[in-house]
């Protein structure tokens, strides 16, 4: 059973377009993180959100944590080809030691 559901699974857009990817769960998380992974490499941490309703901005990336701390979104403005990769959300619950990862959204940005 997947604790975190990510959508869409695949996304192909052109450079300059905006996009939003989603991460949903029925569980409450004490913190939630977004990672980006390139082929053949390990995931790299982008951001951690901990407070319900929190919004964090990282250049053209905007991350939001839901009020109930069960869901999150990642919005990219004016996508660039360098944004191509697998975007993973991962949540920490109060009952476990380790992060639970979603399946990821595979993003392809074409020129």
Instruction: Decide: is 59 part of the binding site for other proteins (CB under 8 A).
Output: no
Instruction: Decide: is 94 part of the binding site for other proteins (CB under 8 A).
Output: no
Query: Which member of 48, 64, 73, 84 binds other proteins (CB under 8 A)?
Result: 48
Please say whether the beta carbons of 26 and 63 come within 8 A.
Answer: no
Please say whether the beta carbons of 82 and 75 come within 8 A.
Answer: no
Binding residues among 16-35 for other proteins as defined by CB under 8 A: 30-31, 33
Instruction: Decide: is 96 part of the binding site for other proteins (CB under 8 A).
Output: yes
Q: How far apart are CA 86 and CA 73, in angstroms?
A: 14
Q: Which stretch binds other proteins (CB under 8 A): 12-20, 56-64, 69-77, 93-101?
A: 93-101
Residue 43 or 66: the one with the smaller Cβ distance to other proteins is 43
Q: Which residues have C-beta within 8 Å of that of residue 22, sequence separation ≥ 6?
A: 6, 7, 71, 72, 73
């Amino acid at each position: 059973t997947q604790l975190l559901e990510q959508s869409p699974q695949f996304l192909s857009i052109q450079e300059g377009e905006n996009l939003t990817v989603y991460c949903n769960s029925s569980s409450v998380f004490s913190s939630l993180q977004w990672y980006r992974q390139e082929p053949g490499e390990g995931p790299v941490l982008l951001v951690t959100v901990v407070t319900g309703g929190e919004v964090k901005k990282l250049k053209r990336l905007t991350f939001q944590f839901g009020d109930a701390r069960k869901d999150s979104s990642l919005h990219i403005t004016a996508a660039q080809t360098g944004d191509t990769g697998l975007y993973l959300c991962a949540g920490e619950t109060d009952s476990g030691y380790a992060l639970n990862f979603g399946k990821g959204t595979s993003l392809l940005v074409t020129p």
